[in-house]
Every structure is written in structure tokens, then in C-alpha cells.
Amino acid sequence: MFKFQGADILSVNQFDHASIEYLFTIADTMQPYAHRKKRTRVLDGAILGNLFFEPSTRTRVSFGTAFNLLGGHVRETVGLSSSALAKGESLYDTARVLSSYSDIIAMRHPDSGSVAEFAEGSRVPVINGGDGANEHPTQALLDLYTISKEQSSHGKTIDGMHIAMVGDLKYGRTVHSLSKLLSLYKNIKFTFIAPDELAMPSYIIDIVDKAGHQYEITEQLEGNLDADIVYQTRIQQERFPSEEEANKYRGKFRLNQAIYTQHCKSNTVIMHPLPRDSRADANELDNDMNQNPNLAIFRQADNGVLVRMALFATTLGVESILKDHECDVIWHSQKANLGL
Ligand code: NCD
């Protein structure tokens, strides 16, 4: 099994089935803390360096929230232009310096391989929060955790499931990492729905194929959505050579309640890593699905905190002493009191 303590989390390639199951068991134990039923101060005094050199809301804030919920402090650096990288400093030097200010670092950067390069210079564990179009391991873990919960609520397992991935499968790092993780399971059926120009890279298809899974590659949304999970994605406009190029594909694969009713199964679960592009010319996942109980996007985002708490606890080696540092919550939010 993968040894979490002290490790960098750079790619989903690091994990096997047993390590994922272990991590998910730890994520389950984080529920009372994430829901503010209890507090733990297990990371009291520890500092997370949260370095985000690309736009982010959920990933950045959920890393910070997860660390705070374990009792640690968060120091943020946001934006390439406001860091010394803009003055020509190497990732190695930045890592050497910032790692002596932190106990662990989470990092997002626009270039593939950049987080691994940074980790070479770091003296503390580094967690990849997304490196260009390459990988997004923590998102894939929270996606898989969500899939496992949604499937079990329907009396099903990950093994044997059917997933349709839709949209920008070329530049979408979340679908790259998720496909690799799912390949560790058995008898998955993948349907990859994308314009030819934005198809899933062949090295990912090879991994799925070699692991013996079934897969179909298509440009057609209609008729291909009768899956257990439909994983919708945003056109990754920031990775296209120009905005005009991205505009060619925006709004091509829209999912709304009418399409859901016509083409999905009655209990198909809809996922999206978020943000969904809600502008009229894109709108890949319509607001008219917000009341659909099978829309799992907000449960998925909530699970991000649990999984990231589990990653911090395991990489810092405190997962077995959470309870020793537990204390009561002395406040309650108004919403919680009202049961909202
Ligand atoms: C994704 C990302 O950054 O790759 N977002 C996220 O982390 N939840 C997907 C996206 O930006 O479309």
C-alpha cells in the first residue's frame, strides 16, 4: 500500500486500490468535524502554504477549510503575477524558501509537470491542486469518493458501473485523473463524448483499454447518456490557443432537464467538477436541473473537504490521533439551528 506519511501527492498513478479504500475510510471519519459536530486540534500550529497560480474557488478554499478544520493555519499565495515567479525565480527556489515557511504545501499551476518540479525543491509534502491539462489528483479522489457514495445509495458498486464523460476531454485534467483511477476497478464501461478535436488523449484510452474495460468514443450526446454517472465538463478555454478556438465548442453539449428526461436513466447521477459555465453561450449544465435529486454536484463539492482532510491527516501522519485532540463545538450557526 502507498505510504501516505511524508509523501507528495502529485499524480493518481501513486495509488492502488487498497490505498484508495484506506483514504476513503479516513475521509468517512472526518464527517463530524466537517459538519461541526466536533472539533479536532490535531494540526494545531501547523501551516499550510496554499499556492494558487491559476484561478480557483473550490479547490483553494476547500484545501484551506480542510486544514482549518484539523486545527491548522492557512497562508495563501494567489496569482503568478503577484509572486516572485514573475521576476524569473525558478520553481525550485520558490519551493526551497516557501517550504521552510510551511508544514505542507498545496499548489496549482498552469504548466503540466510544474507541481512535480516544485516538489523537487520542497522540504515538506506537496499536494498537486492541478498542473495544467495534466492531472488533478485530489479532484479525482473526491470524484471517486462521490461515485462510490452515489452508487452505494443505489445499491451498486464502482465495479461494473457505466460512466459517460462529456465535453472537453482533451484539456480537462479532472477526467484524465478520474479515468486513470477508475481503471483500477473492474468492468467499467466508459463512454467518452467529445468533439473529435477535444477527444480523450490516446494515452488515457490506452490505460483504460489495457486494464480491460469497455469504452466507446463518440461525438454524439443524444443516445449515449443512459449511464449510472454522467460526468459533464466545462470547455477549458484558458488552455486553447485563442478564445475564438474555444468558442467553436462552447455550448455544443448542453445538459438540461429535458435532455435528462429523454436520454438518461431515471436515476442517472450527474456530476461536474465545477465551475459550470453558466453563460448563455455555454450553459453546459442548466440551472433547471438544480432540484433534480440526482444532481450530485454540490454533494461532490462538499466531499472535497472530507477527502482533502483525509489527505492532510494521512500525509502528516495524524489520522489515528484525531480523537485524542477532539473538543466540543461552542457555537452553532443560525442555519444549523433552524435545520436549513
Ligand atoms: C476543475 C479544474 O480546475 O481543473 N475545477 C476544479 O478544480 N473543481 C475543472 C474546471 O476548471 O473546469
Please report, for the domain that includes residue 94, its CATH number.
3.40.50.1370
Any ligand 1 atom below 6 A from CB of 64: no
* Rounded Cα gap, residues 197 and 329, in angstroms: 52
- For residue 76, report the phi and psi dihedrals to the nearest 5 degrees: -105, 140
pLDDT band at 289 (very low <50, low <70, confident <90, very high): very high
Mean of pLDDT over the chain: 96
In this structure, are 106 and 253 located in the same domain?
no
CA atoms within 13 A on the CB side of 115: 29
Query: Given a cut of 90, is residue 224 above it in pLDDT?
Result: yes
Judgement on whether residues 317 and 226 belong to the same structural domain of the protein: no
The domain of 38 spans 12-135+304-333
What is the tens place of the pLDDT at every residue in 307-331?
A: 999 999 999 999 999 999 999 998 8
Instruction: Identify the pLDDT of residue 82.
Output: 75
What does the pLDDT average to over 51-72?
96
Alpha helices, H only, 264-330: 297-315
Lowest mean pLDDT among 71-85, 110-124, 173-187: 71-85
On whether both 144 and 126 belong to a single domain, the answer is: no
* Phi (first) and psi of residue 26, to 5 degrees: -65, -40
Of the listed 77, 94, 108, 173, which one is catalytic?
108
Q: Is there a single domain that holds both residue 43 and residue 158?
A: no
174 lines ligand 1 (CB under 6 A): yes
> Does residue 340 carry a pLDDT above 50?
no
332 pLDDT band (50/70/90 cuts)?
A: confident
54, 58, 59, 198: residue to mutate for ligand 1 pocket, most atoms within 8 A of CB: 59
- Tell me how many domains the chain contains: 2
Report yes or no on 7 lying in a domain. Answer: no
Contacts of 187 (CB under 8 A, 6+ apart): 159, 160, 212, 213, 214
Decide if 2 is inside a domain.
Answer: no
79 pLDDT higher than 90? no
Are 231 and 328 members of one domain? no
At residue 85, the pLDDT reads 81
Residue 334 pLDDT: 67
What percentage of the chain exceeds 70 in pLDDT?
Answer: 98
